[in-house]
């Protein structure tokens, strides 16, 4: 396995584990998230990981990262907003992709979108 993928998996695992251990909002997807790791897309594909976060104060954020098959970051984005529903925020994260996809990305063989909300991802 490429060193950059190992580092990406370690950082993803550590940040996910830390954020959920200190989270006030646990849900049914968290066990799978903590045990999962990032897997690269096929060559010439782009993988997009999206997520949303929500604080008790209703301060929220949505964002994502685009990576190639070697785990290299191509683009990342994030938006701050106020909201009360994490499901709606996860859906907003998916919808925000239309604002951030760049023209050159359309030359990729395909794009894979991953998120941690199974309900939202099943409708995407």
The pLDDT tens digits of the residues spanning 105-118 come to 999 999 999 998 88
From first CA to last CA, the distance across the chain in angstroms is 30
Tell me the residue ranges of DSSP E strands in the chain: 45-54, 59-67, 73-82, 110-114
For residues 72 and 41, the answer to whether their CB atoms sit within 8 Å is no
Query: What is the phi-psi region of residue 71: left when phi exceeds 0, alpha when psi lies from -120 to 50, beta otherwise?
Result: left
Beta-bridged to residue 78, according to DSSP, are 63
pLDDT of residue 22: 47
Domains assigned to the chain: 3-122 (3.30.420)
Average pLDDT over residues 18-45: 64
With 50 as the cut, is the pLDDT of residue 31 above it? no
- In this predicted model, what pLDDT tens digit does every residue of 47-103 receive, in sequence order? 999 999 999 999 999 999 999 999 999 999 999 999 999 999 999 999 999 999 999
């Amino acid at each position: 396995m490429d060193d950059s993928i190992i580092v990406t998996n370690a950082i993803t695992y550590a940040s996910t584990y830390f954020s959920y251990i200190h989270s006030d909002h646990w849900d049914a997807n968290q066990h799978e998230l903590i045990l999962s790791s990032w897997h690269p897309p096929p060559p010439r594909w782009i993988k997009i990981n999206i997520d949303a976060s929500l604080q008790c104060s209703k301060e929220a954020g949505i964002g994502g990262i685009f990576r190639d098959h070697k785990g290299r970051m191509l683009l990342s984005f994030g938006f701050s907003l106020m909201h009360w529903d994490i499901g709606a925020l996860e859906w907003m994260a998916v919808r925000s992709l239309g604002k951030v996809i760049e023209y050159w990305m359309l030359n990729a063989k395909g794009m894979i979108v991953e998120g941690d909300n199974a309900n939202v991802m099943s409708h995407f």
